Amino acid sequence: MRAILKRQKNVRVLQADVRDIDVDTKEVVLDADRIAYDHLILATGATHHYFGNDTWAESAPGLKTVEDATAIRAELLKAFEEAEREGDTTTLTFAIVGGGPTGVELAGAIGELAHHTLRKNFRAIDPAATRILLLEAGDRLLLAYPEELSSRAGEALASLGVEVRTQTRVTHIKDGVIALETNGETTRVDASVVLWAAGVKASPLGESLGAELDRAGRVVVEPDLTVPAHPEISVIGDLASRGLPGTAPVAMQQGRYVAGAIGARINSKSGHTPLPFRYRDKGNLAVIGRAKAVALLGRFRFWGYPAWLLWLFVHLMYLVMFENRVIVFIQWASSYFTRNRRARLITQAPE
């Protein structure tokens, strides 16, 4: 952040925990300090949503940060190591709860790990014999996509050894045991690792605004993304309730819109009122694995290798700074030809 903004002399970057927003005094409350504001933009995002079963978080972690990814990778690799010691992969089961883009990508990545990255790395077990379950409460994967692309995604996952179970609801998770309900029938599955990708809820900071919240804890905002009765506060991204998907394109467009609206208000002498925010949907992309993805661009639908190349290009172009694009491109090329052997690194200390 500091490197990106180093030439912006009127920008100061601070690392701190925000505890509260005092809307009456117009101050952001930190641990032991307060920062006054004239205009405030809140973009604190979302966290995992366990739908009232927060005790599941310990047994079924989700993926939101780099630290989450590192911890998940360590748990997966440690499960393989334990199976190697026991010489048995029949008990090695990975379960992912949620068949949205995150769940599909997680399942695909684990399939790549088991079938390709770790191939021939062990003596007593065959990683490809691992059981990978993708559990979705709805009637198909990727509900935001057309049914054809959901079907294509299911086929791609099947080629990676992923067992997809739709219309399956998780009723309990504890100590590696998952209770599942399918068409009124309850079953139990022993899982080495359980990962959560079934939903998100907004950052709790939205509660401090005293504004109306929706069921997921998101702030109900005006058409110009400001908080009712507080036009000096704008809420964007996953924290804003606008009926839009919680994706990066939405947050990026909202960020540009709010920046322009604030600038217009400051430069206007007659109380500028911006036009309502309108999201321009440029399409949806979901990656599944190596050369496997689905893409929806208006009326056009892609899958397989063309969709995967499109996914790579779009993500590279949206990276900040040209240097980052070059570095990431080189890293991706290396991962493609080596099948990402660095993914085998366990960075967590043993318990």
* Active centre residues (catalytic): 105
- Per DSSP, the three-state class of 133 is strand
Q: Measure the CA–CA gap between 143 and 154, rounded to whole angstroms.
A: 12
Asked if 306 contacts 321 with a C-beta cutoff of 8 angstroms, the reply is no
Q: Measure the CA–CA gap between 71 and 93, rounded to whole angstroms.
A: 17
User: What is the number of alpha carbons within 13 Å of residue 253 lying toward its C-beta?
Assistant: 14
Scanning the chain, the segments in alpha helix (DSSP H) are 66-86, 101-112, 147-159, 248-267, 305-317, 322-338
Asked if 206 contacts 235 with a C-beta cutoff of 8 angstroms, the reply is yes
Q: Measure the CA–CA gap between 73 and 171, rounded to whole angstroms.
A: 25
Backbone φ and ψ of 58, nearest 5°: -70, -35
Bridge partners for 47 per DSSP: 201
Ordered strands of the 131-135 beta sheet: 162-165, 131-135, 93-97, 193-196
Bridge partners for 42 per DSSP: 235
